[in-house]
């Protein structure tokens, strides 16, 4: 048998994981991997995706995990490539994205531990990544490639998902050994690929609580989104006539035009938390933006019992005491719970509480709609962009959100209708993720429409990825809400100082983002009124290329989006962690 490089062994192991893309900017330390991909990539169905910055590559992989529910892979080179990738990994950690990062180091005799001797590109990779990942390790020997990679995937997807990191020296990748001396396992042999369900007894106790409560608030979080639990969640809510609310990480799990859904920034959702007789928390830690699951936003846990569905046992009862914990996959456990509920109670029509909440939400929507009712208004109100997008894009379009107040407007106006399709860094608020997320989503789901709405400052962080989208021929649409400023920081300085503070340099020099896009091989459009947006979107889609629409928004109104007080209240610490 011919000998095999460590690089080829790595690629064959990635194939066993059914990896489709490796996001990587190449380097001499892993030309061996490129050689293996050149030879085998077509046959094994693995494609090299080269971004223009490693962090953007990680964000694209992160988006892939969200859209597919599967882990994704990035590679980066020793030193600078790894350093750039690290920021994306920190983001993936906060968002619970199972990204497996493989970085190289220089040859074993000089790298990392020996860096004090003066080798170049030899930072302490393992220590740097350790705080940002669930697990990391160094492959010291050719033979350990399969089992170290297996562990990287096993840990990334288990419990609460998150990134992992593998460090491989260039000589281990280049080394040739007998492939008969190792075994490549299929992924079912080394990690859980079936959805874990909860113990039957606990399911019955949870069903008893929920069936006994006249009104239930089903609150969905990131775990429900990751699990793709939308259909089960909806069926359960419809059976109970329950009010459904969600965290901003879980938008679209329940179609937001459903009569039982109450939007995150609408007072109706707060009333649902407060007034329901029981809470069913699905894949959420009830963290800061849920005001720690505590009164006054929520009912007193002594009289408002809580059932928590959670994949990670260590996340049970973190902030709010639970009456029953159902540890398992959100999709599987909701199906179990629905079956148990159906055996106990017939389907319930939505009750008086739902009618009250619907009234509150209708008034909220009417007020918001009136604000953006003039399509000829100049400059555009950022919210008006969403009104057009909701109508123009299909219900299953994937949307990436980015920016400060631009995203606050989306919290009010976007109507998310499909699960795993609203991509946002809900925990990190990480500017610059929007464009790479759109790229990763389009790679993962080429048949679906993908668009991004971003603030102008946010767009600047990874604007170079327009070239990536053009080169890869990915027809995504980016709408840039141009207020010429770090708008949300203007909001912050007013809150903190009670005035503007121009020395903060929150205003940007004028940039025509549509022209930048054209220069980078994309289609470009400029719109100054909401009425111009739909025709611009039609031309953008017809171009068959990535497109950027420069939308001039009202810089004064953008500093004060509706609902800002809620964000401030959640972040203020006034509703303290008990």
Ligand X SMILES: Cc1ncc(C[n+]2csc(CCOP(=O)(O)OP(=O)(O)O)c2C)c(N)n1
Q: Which residues of 280-299 are buried (b: 16+ CB within 10 A; e: fewer)?
A: bbbbbbbbebbbbbbbebbb
Residue with tokens 């190449």: 26
The distance of closest approach from Cβ of residue 539 to ligand X in the complex, given in angstroms and rounded to an integer, is 25
Where in 464-503 does DSSP place strands (E)? Answer: 477-482
Sequence-distant (6+) residues with CB within 8 A of 173 are: 5, 6, 7, 10, 29, 30, 32, 33, 104
Residue with tokens 């900017």: 25
The separation between the first and the last C-alpha atoms of the chain, rounded to the nearest angstrom, is 64
Residue 57 interacts with which of Mg ion, ligand X, none, CB < 5 to 8 Å by class: none
Residue 101 interacts with which of Mg ion, ligand X, none, CB < 5 to 8 Å by class: none
Residue 430 interacts with which of Mg ion, ligand X, none, CB < 5 to 8 Å by class: ligand X
Q: By C-beta, is 114 or 497 nearer to ligand X?
A: 497
State the residues that interact with ligand X by CB under 6 A. 403-406, 429-432, 455-458, 481, 483, 485-489, 558
The distance of closest approach from Cβ of residue 478 to ligand X in the complex, given in angstroms and rounded to an integer, is 13
The distance of closest approach from Cβ of residue 407 to ligand X in the complex, given in angstroms and rounded to an integer, is 7
H helices of 175-329, in order, are: 200-212, 222-227, 230-240, 267-275
Contact predicate 265/566, CB 8 Å: yes
Q: By C-beta, is 14 or 482 nearer to Mg ion?
A: 482
In 3-state terms the chain splits into helix, strand, coil percentages (rounded to 5) of: 50, 15, 35
The rounded distance, in Å, linking the Cα atoms of 222 and 251 is 9
The distance of closest approach from Cβ of residue 40 to ligand X in the complex, given in angstroms and rounded to an integer, is 37
Residue 71 interacts with which of Mg ion, ligand X, none, CB < 5 to 8 Å by class: none
Q: By C-beta, is 25 or 480 nearer to ligand X?
A: 480
Residue 170 interacts with which of ligand X, Mg ion, none, CB < 5 to 8 Å by class: none
Contact predicate 490/404, CB 8 Å: no
Contact predicate 213/195, CB 8 Å: no
Q: By C-beta, is 396 or 489 nearer to ligand X?
A: 489
Q: By C-beta, is 455 or 524 nearer to ligand X?
A: 455
Torsion of CA 455, 457, 458, 459, to 10 degrees: 80
Q: By C-beta, is 407 or 422 nearer to Mg ion?
A: 407
Query: Which of 487, 524, 546, 562 touches Mg ion (CB under 5 A)?
Result: 487
Q: Does 402 bind Mg ion (CB under 5 A)?
A: no
Sequence-distant (6+) residues with CB within 8 A of 122 are: 78, 79, 105, 106, 110, 111, 112, 114, 115
Q: Which residues of 105-134 are buried (b: 16+ CB within 10 A; e: fewer)?
A: bbbbebbbeebeeebebbbebbebbeebbb
The distance of closest approach from Cβ of residue 559 to ligand X in the complex, given in angstroms and rounded to an integer, is 8
Q: Does 379 bind Mg ion (CB under 5 A)?
A: no
Residue with tokens 């509703």: 575
Q: By C-beta, is 6 or 455 nearer to ligand X?
A: 455
The distance of closest approach from Cβ of residue 216 to Mg ion in the complex, given in angstroms and rounded to an integer, is 40
The distance of closest approach from Cβ of residue 410 to ligand X in the complex, given in angstroms and rounded to an integer, is 10
**DSSP label of 508:** P
Residue 123 interacts with which of ligand X, Mg ion, none, CB < 5 to 8 Å by class: none
Q: By C-beta, is 284 or 457 nearer to ligand X?
A: 457
Distances (CA, A) of 388 to 277, 483, 516, 537: 38, 19, 24, 9
- The tokens describing 88, both together, are 């994306």
The number of angstroms, rounded, from the C-alpha of 335 to the middle of its chain's C-alpha atoms is 24
Sequence-distant (6+) residues with CB within 8 A of 561 are: 382, 383, 405, 408, 409, 412
Contact predicate 29/170, CB 8 Å: yes
Q: Which residues pair with 280 in a beta bridge?
A: 218, 307
Q: By C-beta, is 262 or 513 nearer to ligand X?
A: 513
Q: By C-beta, is 299 or 404 nearer to ligand X?
A: 404
Q: What are phi and psi of 301, to 5 degrees?
A: -60, -20
Residue 489 interacts with which of Mg ion, ligand X, none, CB < 5 to 8 Å by class: ligand X
The distance of closest approach from Cβ of residue 456 to Mg ion in the complex, given in angstroms and rounded to an integer, is 4
Q: Which residues pair with 220 in a beta bridge?
A: 246, 282
Residue nearest to Mg ion (CB): 455
Residues within window 439-468 making contact with Mg ion, judged by CB under 5 A: 455-457
180: number of Cβ within 10 Å: 8
Q: Does 483 bind Mg ion (CB under 5 A)?
A: yes
Q: By C-beta, is 111 or 410 nearer to ligand X?
A: 410
247: number of Cβ within 10 Å: 25
The distance of closest approach from Cβ of residue 242 to ligand X in the complex, given in angstroms and rounded to an integer, is 34
Sheet of 135-138, strand order? 47-49, 21-24, 72-76, 99-105, 164-169, 135-138
For strands 176-177 and 4-5, give the pairing: antiparallel
Q: By C-beta, is 66 or 506 nearer to Mg ion?
A: 506
Residue with tokens 């393992």: 126
Q: By C-beta, is 70 or 489 nearer to ligand X?
A: 489
Residue with tokens 């994704």: 72
Residue 525 interacts with which of Mg ion, ligand X, none, CB < 5 to 8 Å by class: none
Report the interface residues with Mg ion, using CB under 5 A.
455-457, 483, 485, 487
């Amino acid at each position: 048998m011919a000998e095999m490089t460590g690089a080829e062994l790595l690629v064959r192991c990635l194939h066993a994981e059914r990896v489709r893309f490796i996001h990587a900017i190449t380097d001499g330390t892993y030309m061996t991997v490129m050689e293996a991909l050149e030879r085998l990539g077509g046959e094994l169905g693995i494609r090299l995706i080269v971004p223009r910055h490693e962090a953007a590559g990680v964000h694209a992989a992160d988006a892939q995990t969200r859209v597919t529910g599967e882990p994704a892979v990035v590679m980066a080179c020793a030193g600078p490539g790894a350093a750039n990738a690290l920021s994306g990994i920190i983001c993936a950690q906060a968002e619970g994205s199972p990204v497996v990062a493989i970085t190289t180091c220089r040859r074993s005799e000089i790298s990392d531990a020996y860096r004090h001797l003066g080798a170049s590109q030899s930072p302490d990779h393992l220590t740097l990544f350790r705080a940002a990942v669930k697990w990391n390790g160094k492959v010291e020997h050719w033979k350990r490639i399969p089992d170290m990679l297996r562990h990287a995937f096993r840990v990334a997807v288990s419990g609460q998902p998150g990134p992992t990191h593998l460090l491989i020296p260039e000589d281990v990748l280049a080394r040739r050994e007998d492939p008969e001396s190792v075994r490549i396992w299929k992924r079912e042999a080394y990690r859980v690929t079936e959805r874990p369900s909860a113990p039957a007894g606990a399911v019955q106790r949870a069903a008893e609580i929920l069936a006994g409560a006249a009104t239930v608030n089903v609150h969905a979080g990131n775990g429900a989104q990751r699990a793709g639990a939308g259909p089960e969640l909806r069926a359960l809510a419809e059976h109970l006539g329950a009010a459904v609310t969600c965290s901003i990480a879980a938008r679209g799990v329940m179609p937001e035009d459903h009569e039982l859904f109450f939007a995150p920034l609408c007072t109706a959702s707060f009333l649902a938390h407060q007034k329901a007789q029981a809470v069913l928390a699905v894949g959420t830690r009830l963290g800061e933006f849920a005001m720690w699951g505590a009164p006054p936003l929520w009912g007193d846990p002594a009289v408002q019992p809580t059932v928590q569905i959670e994949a990670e046992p260590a996340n049970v009862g973190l902030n709010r005491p639970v009456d029953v914990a159902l540890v398992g996959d959100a999709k599987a456990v909701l199906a179990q719970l629905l079956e148990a509920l159906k055996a106990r109670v017939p389907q319930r029509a939505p009750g008086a509480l739902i009618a009250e909440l619907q009234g509150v939400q209708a008034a909220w929507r009417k007020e918001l709609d009136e604000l953006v009712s003039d399509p000829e208004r100049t400059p555009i109100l950022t919210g008006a962009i969403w009104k057009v997008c909701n109508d123009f894009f299909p219900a299953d379009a994937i949307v990436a959100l980015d920016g400060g107040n631009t995203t606050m407007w989306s919290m009010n106006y976007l109507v998310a209708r499909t699960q795993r399709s609203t991509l946002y860094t809900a925990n990190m608020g990480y500017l610059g993720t929007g464009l790479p997320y759109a790229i990763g989503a389009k790679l993962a789901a080429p048949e679906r429409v993908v668009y991004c709405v971003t603030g102008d400052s946010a767009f600047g962080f990874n604007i170079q990825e327009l070239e990536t989208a053009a080169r890869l021929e990915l027809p995504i649409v980016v709408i840039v809400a141009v207020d010429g400023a770090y708008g949300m920081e203007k909001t912050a300085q007013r809150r903190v100082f009670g005035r503007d503070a121009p020395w903060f340099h929150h205003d940007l020099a004028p940039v025509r983002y549509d022209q930048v896009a054209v220069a980078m091989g994309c289609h470009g459009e400029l719109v100054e009124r909401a009425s111009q947006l739909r025709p611009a979107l039609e031309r953008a889609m017809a171009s068959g290329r990535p497109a950027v629409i420069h939308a001039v928004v009202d810089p004064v109104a953008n500093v004060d989006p509706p609902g800002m007080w809620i964000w401030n209240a959640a972040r203020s610490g006034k509703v303290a962690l008990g």
